Amino acid sequence: MSFSSIDFPVKVDLNACIADKGCTVCIDACPLDVLVIDPATGKASMKYDECWYCLPCEKDCPTQAIRVDIPYLLR
């Protein structure tokens, strides 16, 4: 039996993310503090899935590296 990894609603384009260059806009914008810098990559990532789909991380990202996938039932 194969298990898939958790599919978090916040997707980070690692090629576009500039957190490794000091940017913390998405992390600062998140009211729930679910975004952190991944020590392995130096890029933004979700530490747990408690996203409210409020979108400031996506809207404020200067490189459009953040995409929030809103579940169908919440649209």
The pLDDT tens digits along the chain (75 residues) read 433 345 788 899 999 999 999 999 999 999 999 999 999 999 999 988 788 999 999 999 999 999 998 876 665
State both tokens at 71: 């579940």
| Count of domains for the chain | 1
What CATH number is associated with residue 46? 3.30.70.20
> Looking at the domain assignment, is residue 2 inside a domain?
no
> Looking at the domain assignment, is residue 38 inside a domain?
yes
> Looking at the domain assignment, is residue 74 inside a domain?
no
Can you give the residue range of the structural domain that contains 30?
10-69
> Looking at the domain assignment, is residue 19 inside a domain?
yes
> Looking at the domain assignment, is residue 3 inside a domain?
no
